[in-house]
Structure 1
Amino acid sequence: MTDDPSERLIEQRIRNRIYEILEILADCDDGVDLVGIKGYFNLFEDFVHRPSIEAGISALSKDERAIVLEIAEFLEAASETNPDFTKAEFIESDWPAKIAPTARDARTLFLRRGLFSEKVEELEPGQPAAIAAGR
């Protein structure tokens, strides 16, 4: 039987999933083609609006949190423009091209710290919490 992951480990995994979604958003129209219109909006939404992120207590840094919430606002604005976009209409609207630069900036910001372990709690990527606590 395996142990349930800790809250910290879940937060690390969520940060890694957000990074993967940033890859999709950064790909502009190709990202929409990859996941479809519903996936484009819902994948990000599934991970971003969590109490830990909104409260600033997740594995995201302050700057990462700010840019992720900025992208969430872009996506909300795009959705409010036309909640029933088809994939073709959405691409033609130029919203993916407006969102992609910020997603690329966010991706770069995430990579400055690196990605977290999926199996071990870390204070920072590559710095296991148990080792850091022993110092």
Structure 2
Amino acid sequence: MEEISKQLLYQRLRNRVIELLDLYSSLDDIATLGAFETIDMVDDWLPLDYAAAPKVFSEKERVVIAKFLMLSNAAADATDEDTWKVDWFRDSEEWVNVSRFSEQALAVFCERGRFSEESEEDFPS
């Protein structure tokens, strides 16, 4: 197995966070995977240790991740049973809130965009 640097690992994690926000920004996409699967995806990727690669996530990005985590936890707490019904998600205030916020959070991440998964980005000092 190839060893990679912490920075490259966190660049890849950043890209997974962008994909996660993209997923959560669409209730139709969430319904395709189901409530429990999308909840588990958040647990798989977040939270992150920003100190491990401090320049990969900006302060603004860290703030939106924290709010996303708060809203996604509220949606998870409001979900007693797994469902794939898009109307159920549309009727859930918590899921609508996290979905709407995910659109905004995705826009924040798009400012710097995706990072390379193969080589370390050169961040200005």
Work out whether the TM-score is over 0.5. Answer: yes
Runs of 4 or more consecutive aligned structure 1 residues displaced over 4 Å after TM superposition = none
Give 5+ residue unaligned stretches, structure 1. 125-131
Q: Determine the C-alpha separation between the residues in 1 that align with 2:37 and 2:107.
A: 22
The structure that is helix-richer by fraction is 1
The structure number with the bigger radius of gyration is: 1
The residue aligned with 2:20 is 21
The residue aligned with 1:66 is 63
Question: Is the Cα contact below 8 Å between 1:53 and 1:60 reproduced in 2?
Answer: yes
Question: RMSD of the TM alignment (CA)?
Answer: 2.5
Aligned length: 123
The residue aligned with 1:40 is 38
Tell me the TM-score normalised to structure 1 length.
Answer: 0.77
Matches within 5 A, 1:41-56: 41-50=39-48, 52-53=49-50
Q: Determine the C-alpha separation between the residues in 1 that align with 2:43 and 2:57.
A: 16
The residue aligned with 1:86 is 83
The residue aligned with 2:3 is 4
RCO higher in 1 or 2 (8 Å CA, sep ≥ 6)? 2
Give 5+ residue unaligned stretches, structure 2. none
Tell me the TM-score normalised to structure 2 length.
Answer: 0.82
Q: Determine the C-alpha separation between the residues in 1 that align with 2:55 and 2:84.
A: 32
Q: Determine the C-alpha separation between the residues in 2 that align with 1:102 and 1:66.
A: 12
Q: Determine the C-alpha separation between the residues in 2 that align with 1:110 and 1:71.
A: 13
SS of corresponding position for 2:117: coil
